[in-house]
Amino acid sequence: MIALVGLIVVIGSVLGGFTIAGGKIPSLFHVSEIVTIGGTALGTVLISTPGAVLKALGGRLGGLLKPSPFSRALYVEALKMLYDLFQIARKDGLVAIEQHIEAPEKSAVFRKYPGVLAQHHAVEFFCDSLRLVLVGSVPPFDLETLMDSEIDVHHEASGKPVGALQKVGDALPGIGIVAAVLGIVVTMGAINGPVEQIGEKVGAALTGTFLGVLLAYGFAQPLATGMEHQGADEARFYHFLKAGVTAFAKGYAPLVAVEFARRAIYADIRPSFAEMESACKGKK
């Protein structure tokens, strides 16, 4: 949502400043320049980006228009979920949580926490890791290494759409120059025409450079940076789950294991220990 507000501010500032200076907004938009820049940028993306990354890029861009799911409320919900599962394992044995991690979408525990359940990949990561704890043949240190490796793979995959958008942003100023040069070529072909016509064609050519630079630094690069922050928030949630699972695998009491997870939350959205304890024990 904030990203959408930012885009509106960028557009409003550019058009507002241009209008205040006496410019006419329609003079900034020429179909030929828009087709050249937009088509070339799209073509470069299709040439350089695999289909799976393109699909992920669309999803990540759409996610920027929504509030981040990785809020304080989600973490409190996740802390309570961890505590519930760890308590079940402590009272009834590890086998008692097998039914929950084998089919989390059907689990009575997971279904109490829809915000967590909506994070499908994170839930899968969590359940796969707990499954190894149940098997009991993987030492906690090796389990932590394995989880770190999976987090790295996930982070690498989530970085591919960001890299694709950044490369487009880097190329847009050059694409704008190409559009401007083409506009100058057209202008030179009409050099014997009326001054007004020549001025219009030169203005159209210059808008190519303008659009290329604006799209690069006002849209593509900020969106890529926003996606980077989005990916970092998601990775932090994985580290949060890892901290809880590895502490539980080392034999710590449920509340202590959950405290390990709490310490892995960003400070600005981290609930206090008292808040966590109250929330968790209220679920007994």
Residues 104-116 have pLDDT tens digits of 999 999 999 999 9
**What pLDDT score was predicted for residue 284?**
43
Helices (H), the chain: 2-20, 31-48, 51-64, 72-92, 98-102, 114-117, 120-135, 140-189, 195-214, 221-249, 254-262, 273-281
**What pLDDT score was predicted for residue 64?**
86
In the predicted structure, residue 283 carries a pLDDT above the cut 60: no
Mean pLDDT on 185-191: 81
Rounded-to-integer distance, Cα 33 and Cα 36, Å: 5
Lowest mean pLDDT among 1-5, 55-59, 109-113, 241-245: 1-5
In the predicted structure, residue 191 carries a pLDDT above the cut 80: no
**What pLDDT score was predicted for residue 1?**
66
Query: Burial, 246: exposed, middle or buried (Cβ in 10 Å; 0-12, 13-18, 19+)?
Result: buried
Cβ atoms of residues 60 and 233 within 8 Å? no
pLDDT digits (tens, 9 = 90+) for 30-87: 888 899 999 999 999 999 999 999 999 988 888 888 888 999 999 999 999 999 999 9
Mean pLDDT on 2-13: 89
Torsion 132-135-138-140 (CA) sign: positive
| Mean pLDDT, the chain, integer | 91
Rounded-to-integer distance, Cα 84 and Cα 270, Å: 19
Cβ atoms of residues 75 and 269 within 8 Å? yes
